[in-house]
Amino acid sequence: MNNSIDFNQQNIEDIKYLDKLLQQTYLAVCSAQDSLSERSKRGKYHLSLCFLTIASQGYIEAKSFYDEKKSIADIRFEGFFEAYRKYKSQFMEFISTQDNIKEQLNEKFDNFKDKSILISSLIRNINY
């Protein structure tokens, strides 16, 4: 795992593409989280699961691309992926039990959001 990335042109292009995938995943997770509180009880779980499915597809694509590109490996990206896995696990537990207590889910979401902001800041600070 690199502590710093060599910002050659190919790595910059790879990071830009990875950023696009991570942003898609982030937006789908936000939609899943938001739909839990915006819909009637009957439809909100179904809609939330649809958004989580979209997020999962983005996660799989981003993680596969990241794993393939060893030259852009960075602990901060790993934090994003780990935060997503923890959020998804908590989300599925919340949905399957239809628990009305969302504190743990909100905590995992906030952690995921923080990791997303960290990665976004890292990428935006790259001198293209």
For 26-54, write each residue's pLDDT tens digit.
999 999 999 888 656 667 788 899 999 99
Question: How far, in Å, CA of 120 to CA of 96, rounded?
Answer: 31
Residue 14: how many other CB atoms lie within 10 Å: 18
Residue 22, domain member (yes or no): yes
What are the residues whose beta carbons fall under 8 Å from the beta carbon of 110, sequence distance 6 or more? none
For 57-85, write each residue's pLDDT tens digit.
999 999 999 999 988 888 789 999 999 99
What are the residues whose beta carbons fall under 8 Å from the beta carbon of 128, sequence distance 6 or more? 12, 16
CATH number at residue 82: 1.20.120
Q: Whole domain around residue 23: which residue ranges?
A: 9-124
Residue 42, domain member (yes or no): yes
For 82-121, write each residue's pLDDT tens digit.
999 999 999 999 888 866 678 899 999 999 999 999 998 8
Residue 4, domain member (yes or no): no
Q: How many domains are contained in the chain?
A: 1
Q: Is 18 helix (H, G, I), strand (E, B) or coil?
A: helix
